[in-house]
Structures are given as structure tokens and as C-alpha cells.
């Protein structure tokens, strides 16, 4: 078979702005960069195919964080996210998002993506969060990718599908110079020189192992193996608050959202085995996940999403969304199990761990211009540190990144990199193809992710983490010395395992560094069970310094929107209190 056969080859191209990742943030970043300077070359590099890549491959059911005039204010939203994220927020970026997102909604609307409106023609925004109202359904949400793709073609963005970026290139003085990538079907190397690079490579969603044991049965698009986190790390960029894991309440075994954001506004709720509510609010926060975890273990589990009390017409309306967009195989899954929402509740479970700022706060550190700590390098979407930013955050911050990166490219020439770096990276990439005998990537990946579950899943115990670190080091040695790839597709998986391994190491390091508990279940350390604002009201930044993984504290920027003392704990009070 011609496809997947390894071809020895290396070529080099150049562009003004290189966007890596064509899911959600990436297309918007590429589009905005090109519109900012239509004469410039913008390349959009994608490991899969931009038409159907990323978290919104099959569209999205709605916006989870729309700040729409008349329903919410940027101040209110900034306050809500600050509280939901236990105060560890640089508000400037969140506030900027909240101010800009409405214009992005209008722009998406002009692309042909419709949003739910009421009989007066106003946006029909729903309440899911604890305080404000930000959830806006998308009746034709399955068309998102198609609408974006049309815009990319119209703007003449150069799209390169099936190229996986593996490392960033820098100049001697530390400025970004481009990236090295490999064709996922031929293993040919492509070096892309660029004046600015934007990383939009999604979550680290293949970190823990789903309880089904199926490696690709993840919540995130399974292509999101944390490559962006790993590349940013090796380029010397700082990564923020990685210990604030992503853990989600999902349909058991299916491992996709149930989804309370869709069903909640219609009256569905999360219930225990007695059919009783136990949490105040279904918004995904670490505090909510802790209550969910406690309920599962309390003898009152399993936990369910309950719809059966609703009118059959309402259930049909919910079904038409759940079984059409985002994860359309939900219907097939329930049908296979004989579950009808009209008579039976949906069994829920807790997901494996991952990194994703889209839902929590673990990401490559960026400021309010989407700049990382490496000059000329940007990040947006699930892999950048703006917390809880979901799909609309990816679009909005992708837009910010695209505009700022093109400005940077307009004012800088290409940075020079050392050709020896390319040769070194080529050797690293191709190493698994040079071995005659060894361990295939799927076995190394399974073992690594099983170790992540065994040792890293919260509650975080120091002794377990220390053991986990040793076991992961052994798996890393196997990966570096013995892993084999017999064709280009297997090489793609072999490269992904290396990202997964890096993310596992970073998860351990970041978690051991923060000696307190914060963000509910996301960073619950049994050896330091209390929140310690005196010593740990700060970001943690992880980076590679002199070849070693290092963590340091970074002060939280002064708030733009003040939070009153009485408001700070609103998300800590998630559990419904028993009434006499």
C-alpha cells in the first residue's frame, strides 16, 4: 500500500504567520491574520484535515460563555470566572474576551451560523452558571466547520493537512523562527520558517485512560494528544497551572457529555441513586466535580442526568440536539443499551484526567494579547491559559492572536535558526522507524496512560505521585530506546506518545509543586488538604530551564473587576444543604 509507506525526504517552505492546528482557534487566527495583512502568507498546518478536525469536528450545540448585552456584562462574567477558578485568574485576558466575544458572535452569524432567538428576535440565552446567564444554543451547530472552511478558502489561506508539527525552531536570541513537522502518511519532514507562530493545538485529551479501556474513547477529540503543550515546553515557553486538571462528568463508558448545559435549561438535573439533587449548579467547576466524586463514593451513587420527569415533547427537543451535534453517536449508544430518556436516567461517571483551559485553567501561559513567554510565539484555544474559555473563547482569543501575530510579523524579519536543530529533530522523529525490533507505540501509550490513572488521578497523594514518577520514567526509557514504528501512521502514534509522556511528567511536576488543595477535585492533595491563600494565592509556571523541568510562582495580576469577600466562596458552596 502506497499510503503509510515511509519516504525519506525533507523540504523547507516559509510564510509570515504559521498557525498550527486547524480546529477552532486556528482557523479564526489564520483568517484574522490574513485579513490584517492580505499580502502576507498565512499557513494553517493541521495534523488531520481542517474540514473535520478538532473538538468541533461535528459542530457544537451552543455557546457556553456568551456575554450578550442585555443578559450579562463583561464585569459580571469576569467576576464569575474568577470565582469559579478559585481566584487564580489574570482578569485582563478574561475581561478582554468578555468585551470582544459579542462581536465574534455577530461575525459567526455573518458566516451563516445561527443562534437561538426568541419570539422578539433577541438571543435566547439560558442560565447554567452559578451567577450569570451565558449559554446560547446553536440550532444549526453542525455547520460550524463547514462555515469556517468556506471563509478560509475565500481568504486564500494556505492549508496543509496531514502534517504534524513536532518541534518549534528559535533563533540564538530566543525569538521564534518556525516549526518542524512531519507528514503523517509518508513521514517526510517539512520545515516551515515563519516570522510568528500561533499554537492552536487543542487540549491534552489523551492523558488518562478511559475506564472502558478503549484508548481513543476520550472526551476530547482523540487527535488532541497534547502536542502543543509538549512543543511549547521544549521551546522554553512557560505553562500555567497545569495541576488544575480537566476532569469532566460524562456519560459512563461513552465518555462524552450528557449534556447538562443543553438539558439543564429545560429542567433536567444531576441526581443520585435516590433521584435527589445534590449539587446546586451543573456548571463544570472543580468544586462541582468534587461533589460529584464524593456522591459516587458515598453509597448514593451512581450519579445520573435525569430527564424522565420532563414532558415528552421537551425530551424530543433535547434529543434532537444531543443526537445531531457535537457527539451525534450519543443516540446510537443509548439505543444500543436500550435507554430511553423518557423512562430512564442517563448513568454518568467521572472522566480520566487531561489538560484543557477550555474547561479548567491548565494551559500554555498567555497574556491578554495571546502572547506566550517566547517572542513571536502565540497560543489560543484549549491549550492556552485563559481559563474556562470554551469554543467561543477559542474563536475570540484566536482572533486576538491572529491580529497580534500579524503585527509582529509585519515588524520583524525571519529569525535565523541553527540547521543542526533540524538534523537533530529529524533523527529524533525518525528513530522509531530505524529499529528492527522493539515495542509498538500502542503498548507504550496504553501503559503510560494506565500509569496516569493509577498514580495521578485525584485525590493526589504525594507517595503515589513519587511512585508514578518512577514508573513513568521507566516507560519513557522504553519509549526512547525501544519503540518501533513500521509505517508512517504508526510513526504518527509514536510521536503522539512522546507528547503524552511529556504531559504526564508535567502533570506530576506541577502537582507536587503546589503544596495546597485548590480547584476542588482538580487539585485535591491529601497531604495538603486545605486551601492556603497565604502561600499559594498565585499562578504556578512550569518551564524548561537549562534542560530541566522547573516550576515557579507568579503573582496574580491585580483584579480589573473587584470581588467582594462575600462573593469569593460562591462556587465553594455547591452541595445542596439538607433542609429540616
Partner 1 sequence: MPLASYQTSVPVVVDDAKCIADKGCTVCVDVCPLDVLRISDMSGKAYMAYDECWYCMPCEADCPTGAVTVNIPYLLR
What is the binding site for partner 1 (CB under 8 A)?
1, 3-4, 48-49, 51-54, 57-58, 161-162, 184-185, 210, 212-218, 221-223, 253-255, 327-329, 332-333, 336-337, 437-440, 489, 492-493
Residue 420's CB: how many other CB atoms inside 10 A? Answer: 8
Task: Note whether 60 and 108 are within 8 A (CB).
Answer: no
To partner 1, the closest distance from the beta carbon of 483 in angstroms equals: 12
Is the CB of 2 or the CB of 564 nearer to partner 1?
Answer: 2
To partner 1, the closest distance from the beta carbon of 49 in angstroms equals: 6
C-alpha cell at 422: 533540524
Instruction: Report the alpha-carbon distance of residue 463 to residue 230 in Å, rounded.
Output: 25
To partner 1, the closest distance from the beta carbon of 215 in angstroms equals: 7
Using DSSP, state whether 352 is helix, strand or coil: coil
**Plot region of 141 (φ>0 → left; ψ -120 to 50 → alpha; else → beta):** alpha
Task: Note whether 571 and 130 are within 8 A (CB).
Answer: yes
To partner 1, the closest distance from the beta carbon of 438 in angstroms equals: 7
Using DSSP, state whether 81 is helix, strand or coil: helix
Is the CB of 221 or the CB of 285 nearer to partner 1?
Answer: 221
Instruction: Report the alpha-carbon distance of residue 557 to residue 270 in Å, rounded.
Output: 36
Using DSSP, state whether 289 is helix, strand or coil: helix
Is the CB of 347 or the CB of 367 nearer to partner 1?
Answer: 347
Is the CB of 58 or the CB of 572 nearer to partner 1?
Answer: 58
Is the CB of 414 or the CB of 446 nearer to partner 1?
Answer: 446
To partner 1, the closest distance from the beta carbon of 329 in angstroms equals: 5
Strands 269-271 and 249-251: unpaired
Task: Note whether 519 and 284 are within 8 A (CB).
Answer: no
478 CB contacts (<8 Å, ≥6 apart)? Answer: 439, 444
Instruction: Report the alpha-carbon distance of residue 224 to residue 114 in Å, rounded.
Output: 27
Instruction: Report the alpha-carbon distance of residue 79 to residue 87 in Å, rounded.
Output: 9
Give, for 575, the enclosing helix (H) or strand (E).
Answer: none
To partner 1, the closest distance from the beta carbon of 117 in angstroms equals: 26
Q: 108, 145, 329, 362: which is closest to 244 by C-alpha?
A: 362
Is the CB of 212 or the CB of 526 nearer to partner 1?
Answer: 212
DSSP 379-421: E-GGGBSSTT-HHHHHHHHHHHHHHHHHHHHHT--PPP--HHH
48 CB contacts (<8 Å, ≥6 apart)? Answer: 22, 54, 161, 162, 223
Is the CB of 175 or the CB of 330 nearer to partner 1?
Answer: 330
To partner 1, the closest distance from the beta carbon of 50 in angstroms equals: 10
Is the CB of 73 or the CB of 143 nearer to partner 1?
Answer: 143
525 CB contacts (<8 Å, ≥6 apart)? Answer: 459, 460, 461, 462, 511, 514, 515, 516, 517
Is the CB of 291 or the CB of 490 nearer to partner 1?
Answer: 490
To partner 1, the closest distance from the beta carbon of 378 in angstroms equals: 23
Is the CB of 82 or the CB of 186 nearer to partner 1?
Answer: 186
To partner 1, the closest distance from the beta carbon of 476 in angstroms equals: 18
Is the CB of 158 or the CB of 563 nearer to partner 1?
Answer: 158
Residue 573's CB: how many other CB atoms inside 10 A? Answer: 12
To partner 1, the closest distance from the beta carbon of 323 in angstroms equals: 11
To partner 1, the closest distance from the beta carbon of 440 in angstroms equals: 7
Amino acid at each position: 500500500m502506497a499510503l503509510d509507506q515511509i519516504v525519506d525526504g525533507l523540504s523547507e517552505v516559509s510564510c509570515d504567520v504559521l498557525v498550527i492546528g486547524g480546529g477552532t482557534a486556528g482557523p479564526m487566527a489564520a483568517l484574522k491574520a490574513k485579513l490584517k495583512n492580505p499580502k502576507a502568507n498565512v499557513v494553517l498546518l493541521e495534523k488531520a484535515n481542517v474540514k473535520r478536525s478538532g473538538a468541533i469536528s461535528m459542530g457544537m450545540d451552543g455557546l457556553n460563555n456568551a456575554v450578550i448585552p442585555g443578559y450579562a456584562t463583561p464585569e459580571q462574567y469576569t467576576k464569575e470566572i474568577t470565582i469559579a477558578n478559585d481566584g487564580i485568574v489574570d482578569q485582563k485576558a478574561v475581561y478582554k474576551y468578555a468585551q470582544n466575544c459579542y462581536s465574534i458572535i455577530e461575525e459567526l452569524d455573518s458566516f451563516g451560523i445561527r443562534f437561538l432567538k426568541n419570539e422578539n428576535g433577541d438571543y435566547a440565552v439560558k442560565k447554567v452558571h452559578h451567577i450569570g446567564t451565558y449559554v446560547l444554543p446553536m440550532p444549526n451547530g453542525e455547520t460550524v466547520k463547514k462555515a469556517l472552511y468556506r471563509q478560509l478558502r475565500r481568504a486564500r489561506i494556505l492549508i496543509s493537512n496531514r502534517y504534524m508539527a513536532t518541534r518549534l525552531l528559535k533563533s540564538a536570541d530566543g525569538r521564534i523562527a518556525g516549526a518542524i513537522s512531519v507528514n503523517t502518511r509518508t513521514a517526510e519532514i517539512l520545515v516551515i520558517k515563519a516570522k510568528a507562530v500561533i499554537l492552536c493545538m487543542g487540549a491534552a485529551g489523551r492523558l488518562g485512560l478511559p475506564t472502558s479501556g478503549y484508548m481513543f474513547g476520550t472526551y476530547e477529540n482523540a487527535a488532541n494528544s497534547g502536542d502543543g503543550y509538549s512543543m511549547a515546553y521544549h521551546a522554553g515557553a512557560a505553562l500555567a497551572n497545569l495541576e488544575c486538571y480537566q476532569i469532566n462528568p460524562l456519560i459512563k463508558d461513552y465518555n462524552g457529555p450528557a449534556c447538562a448545559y443543553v438539558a439543564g435549561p429545560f429542567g433536567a438535573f444531576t441526581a443520585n441513586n435516590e433521584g435527589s439533587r445534590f449539587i446546586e449548579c451543573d456548571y463544570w467547576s472543580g468544586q462541582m466535580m468534587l461533589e460529584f466524586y464524593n456522591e459516587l463514593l458515598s453509597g448514593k451513587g451512581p450519579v445520573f442526568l435525569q430527564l424522565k420527569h420532563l414532558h415528552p415533547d421537551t425530551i424530543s427537543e433535547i434529543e434532537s440536539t444531543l443526537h445531531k451535534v457535537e457527539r451525534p453517536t450519543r443516540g446510537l449508544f443509548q439505543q444500543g443499551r436500550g435507554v430511553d430518556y423518557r423512562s430512564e436516567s442517563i448513568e454518568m461517571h467521572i472522566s480520566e484526567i487531561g489538560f484543557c483551559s477550555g474547561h479548567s485553567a491548565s494551559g500554555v501561559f498567555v497574556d491578554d494579547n495571546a502572547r506566550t513567554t517566547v517572542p513571536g510565539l502565540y497560543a489560543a484555544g484549549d491549550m492556552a491559559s485563559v481559563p474556562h474559555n470554551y469554543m467561543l473563547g477559542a474563536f475570540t482569543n484566536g482572533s486576538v492572536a491572529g491580529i497580534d501575530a500579524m503585527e509582529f510579523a509585519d515588524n520583524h524579519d525571519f529569525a535565523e535558526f541553527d540547521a543542526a536543530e533540524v538534523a537533530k529533530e529529524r533523527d529524533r522523529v525518525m528513530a522509531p522507524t530505524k529499529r528492527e525490533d522493539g515495542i509498538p507505540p500502542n503498548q507504550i501509550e496504553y501503559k503510560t496512560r494506565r500509569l496516569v490513572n493509577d498514580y495521578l488521578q485525584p485525590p493526589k497523594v504525594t507517595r503515589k505521585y513519587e511512585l508514578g514518577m518512577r514508573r513513568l520514567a521507566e516507560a519513557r526509557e522504553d519509549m526512547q530506546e525501544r519503540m518501533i514504528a513500521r509505517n508512517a501512521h504508526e510513526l504518527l502514534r509514536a510521536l503522539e506518545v512522546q507528547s503524552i509522556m511529556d504531559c504526564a511528567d508535567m502533570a506530576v511536576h506541577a502537582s507536587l509543586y503546589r503544596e495546597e488543595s485548590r480547584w476542588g477535585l482538580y487539585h485535591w492533595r491529601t497531604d495538603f488538604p486545605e486551601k492556603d491563600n497565604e502561600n499559594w494565592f498565585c499562578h504556578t509556571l512550569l518551564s524548561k530551564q537549562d534542560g530541566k523541568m522547573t516550576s515557579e510562582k507568579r503573582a496574580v495580576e491585580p483584579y480589573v473587576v473587584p470581588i467582594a469577600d462575600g462573593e469569593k466562596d460562591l462556587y465553594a458552596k455547591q452541595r445542596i444543604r439538607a433542609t429540616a
